[in-house]
Structure 1
Amino acid sequence: MSFKSLGLSESLVKAVSEQGYDTPTPIQTKSIPPVLEGRDVLASAQTGTGKTAGFTLPLLQNLSQTPPLRNRPIRALILTPTRELAAQIHQNVKDYSRFVDLRSTVIFGGVNQKSQVSTIRNGVDVLIATPGRLIDLNNQGLLSLKNVEILVLDEADRMLDMGFLRDINKIMGLIPKQRQTLLFSATFSKEIRTLANEFLKNPVSVESTPENTTVEAIKQQVYRVAKDKKTDLLIKLISEGNWDQVLVFTRTKHGANKLAKKLESANIGAAPIHGNKSQGARTKALAGFKSGTIKVLVATDIASRGLDIPLLPYVVNFELPNISEDYVHRIGRTGRAGASGLAVSLVSADETSFLRDIEKLIGDKIPMEIIEGFEPDPNASTKPINPQQRGRKPSNNANSRPSSRHNTNKPSGNKSRNSRTNSSKPRR
């Protein structure tokens, strides 16, 4: 199987080849033909499966079949939940459209809108956007969506989870009803199917991998440890194991900041990455992580979505997620593209039920160890932490405004998500 055999033009095949890809991934093989045919598509695809090329390549081909319209109005809109993911998709669109006459740009919050508006005014065929900034500019009369022919909802499950449902509904009212719609999600949850039934017309359903599976190349390890000894144990593991490029997950932004400071105090280069960090700070932290000047990124679940780290060797659950599917998503960030990976979880007594639920989901017992000097507290309660400590605020507060935060499009890797609709209005 080749990209050409899927029906892509020579120009796009050449662009893909220059990026180092000759053979399409399963999700690309399944999604590209129906998109080229103009069909609506509902796709289940995890980060790292090549899903971005699965919709951008046929989208670009469909647009390039006709000459650009006068003044180049927006003809394709790609909605993503986070700034990092939006920027990465835009980079791919630019790479793949090198040999076709199409213009693209990206807009998201957290930065000045002036340059974004200027680019749009000069005309773009493809717009990649986060919902908040898109609605902001539309409300200011700075862009029009009346010529949109193709709409892509990428990581739709995460958009629902982050409370973008209201924004999605508003955006749907701004674009023509006669359009092609592509919806990509990590899972086919009830909420995603409801969304698809509302906005897609007779869609083709495609899946890349079974849901809720973990990567065979990932070695999983649990360390039972007292809650107040987790930081010291993490320092020991990183230092004695000589770990580089470690992605550590915490439940909260405050916890990420606190842990990063303690690691720095132990002479381990670390940086927190979460929604309260500016775009510049997040970009700088990621660049340092990739270059090796920063050994550890301490992230929240939402902020980690969309981080482009192709060969991440270590993932640490400093705190287990209370939603089991999040564990699968977290550890799926390592062990990609045939490389091995290590996923370590530091589990205190109050996370016992979380661990049990995770093992039930993945259908396996995770090897467990206790390190001398870091033993769990035998008197600690196994009662789960309360909801306010779980890192996800209740969604029934209409004034709650979770930040828009943060995957990569390159082959391969697995993750899974548990989507939740949330009517609260996110920040831009």
Structure 2
Amino acid sequence: MHFEDLDLDAAILEGIKALGYQKPTTIQQQAIPVALDGRDLLASAPTGTGKTAAYLLPALQHLIDFPRKKPGFARVLIMTPTRELAYQTYEQAKSLAQFTELSLGVITGGINYGSHHEVLNKNNDLLIATPGRLMEYLENETFNPLDVELLILDEADRMLDMGFLKEMDRIAAETKRRKHTWLYSATLEGASLIKFARQIMPDPAEVYASPPRREKQKIQQWIHLADDYDHKFKLLVHWLKQEETQKSIVFVKTRERLQTLIGQLQSEGLKTCWLQGEMPQHKRNQAIDAFHQNKVSILVATDVAARGIDVDDVTHVINFDMPRKADVYLHRIGRTGRAGKKGNALSLVEAHDMEILSKVERYTDQKLARRVIESLKPKHKAAKVPVKKKKKKVNTATPAKKPKKPKKPKKK
């Protein structure tokens, strides 16, 4: 299949060509025709397989097919969980729509309110927003949601994980005149997500796009066993100094760990940038721009970046700390092997990580290869995941006394 086969407008096809897209990916082939048919859509696809374009392309086509009749607010509203994802979606939307007359905007927290004045006070066709800031504009009636014809929720499970259920419910209720709803995510799991989807979409078409075998094999995954933090750091430095590690994201579990690691890497002569929670927006943008433009080749991040970074040429994802949940592992490694390129994902595993490693392997349905660097061999063998033994039931009742055996009569 080619993009020309998807009944897209010539102006959109020009934008696709300018971005260098060759053929639609699996999720794009399956979701775009359904979306163009005017169905509500519940769609899932692994990170890095073209999910964003899978909803942007039919959204742009909807705006062209049904032109604006009167001035007003956004007709397509796209909600994303993080600022990074919002801005990257906005940049991709601008590129795809560059040969059209459509007006696009983005609204997120961490930005001066005056910066959004133009977006909220001119004709706007497509708006990308994060839940928190949009709710503020809904509350003070700066944004009118009644013009929204199409509501798109990207990474809906992530928004629920971040505690945005009330905001999502409110936005769904406020956009009550909408014609269609599309819910996209890398995974569609969990009772709360399924319940929410059923509430806002009574009869959606469902698309679960498993990538073909060749796409699955684009990310090579393995682990290194580590004795302790110092051993883990030496393994990390080894890989960051390899010629093949051209651009890498290193994931850690806490902000404190991030700050410690940055200082240690810089003392090794490794220049880094970083992303963490509660970071001013301009600093986030600076870090992403430096990484995107290859001014810095190492990005250290907490999981705030797991779903927000969209850089096509990341060669390695390194889990310095294992994630707390198996699905987060998938979102992390999805930062590499994008746009048809191959990628590498390696995890540094201590003894206390063996339980989550076991969960990751069950979740991904594969056993991760164990590798050893000759000069950095672990001193200890791999720890086994402790098996909880069932406790034997103890009868607390006072045991009955055994009757005494009668004495044998003495022989006379």
TM, length-normalised to structure 2: 0.86
Correspondence 1:278-427 to 2 at 5 A: 278-371=280-373, 374=376, 376=378, 378=380
1:192-218: CA deviation from partner (whole Å, max 9, x where unpaired) = 32221110131111122169x993132
User: In 2 relative to 1, CA 141–361 (structure 1 residues): closer, same or farther, beyond 3 Å?
Assistant: closer
Q: Does 1:39 align with 2:31?
A: no
Q: Does 1:160 align with 2:160?
A: yes
Query: What's the secondary structure of 1:277's corresponding residue?
Result: coil
The whole-number CA distance in structure 2 between the counterparts of 1:305 and 1:188 is 15
Residue 323 of structure 1: CA displacement? 1.2
Q: Which residue of 1 aligns with 2:137?
A: 137
CA contact (8 A) 1:52 1:89 kept: yes
Residue 329 of structure 1: CA displacement? 2.3
CA contact (8 A) 2:150 2:178 kept: no
The whole-number CA distance in structure 2 between the counterparts of 1:203 and 1:53 is 20
1:95-118: CA deviation from partner (whole Å, max 9, x where unpaired) = 222333321100000111212122
CA contact (8 A) 1:348 1:376 kept: no
User: In 2 relative to 1, CA 341–16 (structure 1 residues): closer, same or farther, beyond 3 Å?
Assistant: closer
Residue 354 of structure 1: CA displacement? 1.6
CA contact (8 A) 1:40 1:204 kept: yes
The whole-number CA distance in structure 2 between the counterparts of 1:311 and 1:380 is 33
The whole-number CA distance in structure 2 between the counterparts of 1:241 and 1:348 is 26
User: In 2 relative to 1, CA 59–338 (structure 1 residues): closer, same or farther, beyond 3 Å?
Assistant: closer
User: In 2 relative to 1, CA 260–201 (structure 1 residues): closer, same or farther, beyond 3 Å?
Assistant: same
User: In 2 relative to 1, CA 368–99 (structure 1 residues): closer, same or farther, beyond 3 Å?
Assistant: closer
CA contact (8 A) 1:105 1:127 kept: yes
The whole-number CA distance in structure 2 between the counterparts of 1:145 and 1:14 is 31
CA contact (8 A) 1:349 1:376 kept: no
User: In 2 relative to 1, CA 337–147 (structure 1 residues): closer, same or farther, beyond 3 Å?
Assistant: closer
- 1:309 is matched by which residue type in structure 2? V
Correspondence 1:72-221 to 2 at 5 A: 72-189=72-189, 190-209=191-210, 215-221=216-222
5+ long unaligned stretches in structure 2? 387-412
Query: What's the secondary structure of 2:56's corresponding residue?
Result: helix
The whole-number CA distance in structure 1 between the counterparts of 2:186 and 2:104 is 25
Query: What's the secondary structure of 2:73's corresponding residue?
Result: coil
Residue 72 of structure 1: CA displacement? 2.9
Q: Which residue of 2 aligns with 1:252?
A: 254
Q: Does 1:28 align with 2:10?
A: no
The whole-number CA distance in structure 1 between the counterparts of 2:366 and 2:78 is 38
5+ long unaligned stretches in structure 1? 385-428
- 1:235 is matched by which residue type in structure 2? V
The whole-number CA distance in structure 2 between the counterparts of 1:163 and 1:178 is 24
- 1:18 is matched by which residue type in structure 2? A
Percentage of pairs with the same residue? 37
The whole-number CA distance in structure 2 between the counterparts of 1:332 and 1:173 is 32
The whole-number CA distance in structure 1 between the counterparts of 2:11 and 2:274 is 41
Residue 22 of structure 1: CA displacement? 4.2
User: In 2 relative to 1, CA 12–346 (structure 1 residues): closer, same or farther, beyond 3 Å?
Assistant: same
Query: What's the secondary structure of 1:219's corresponding residue?
Result: strand
Residue 376 of structure 1: CA displacement? 4.6
- 2:203 is matched by which residue type in structure 1? N
Residue 242 of structure 1: CA displacement? 6.3
Query: What's the secondary structure of 2:233's corresponding residue?
Result: helix
CA contact (8 A) 2:253 2:303 kept: yes
The whole-number CA distance in structure 1 between the counterparts of 2:364 and 2:39 is 34
**Bigger mean CA deviation after superposition, 285-294 or 53-62:** 285-294
Residue 124 of structure 1: CA displacement? 0.7
**Bigger mean CA deviation after superposition, 101-110 or 88-97:** 88-97
1:56-80: CA deviation from partner (whole Å, max 9, x where unpaired) = 2211222222332332322111111
**Bigger mean CA deviation after superposition, 78-87 or 56-65:** 56-65
**Bigger mean CA deviation after superposition, 201-210 or 35-44:** 201-210
Query: What's the secondary structure of 2:348's corresponding residue?
Result: strand
CA contact (8 A) 1:155 1:186 kept: yes
The whole-number CA distance in structure 1 between the counterparts of 2:158 and 2:180 is 21
The whole-number CA distance in structure 2 between the counterparts of 1:131 and 1:382 is 42
User: In 2 relative to 1, CA 232–129 (structure 1 residues): closer, same or farther, beyond 3 Å?
Assistant: same
- 1:307 is matched by which residue type in structure 2? I
Q: Which residue of 2 aligns with 1:238?
A: 240
- Between 1 and 2, higher relative CO (CA 8 Å, sep ≥ 6) is seen in 1
Query: What's the secondary structure of 1:146's corresponding residue?
Result: helix
**Bigger mean CA deviation after superposition, 173-182 or 367-376:** 367-376
CA contact (8 A) 1:244 1:292 kept: no
What RMSD in Å do the two structures reach over aligned CA positions? 2.5
Query: What's the secondary structure of 2:145's corresponding residue?
Result: coil
TM, length-normalised to structure 1: 0.83
Residue 331 of structure 1: CA displacement? 2.0
Q: Which residue of 2 aligns with 1:13?
A: 13
CA contact (8 A) 1:261 1:270 kept: no
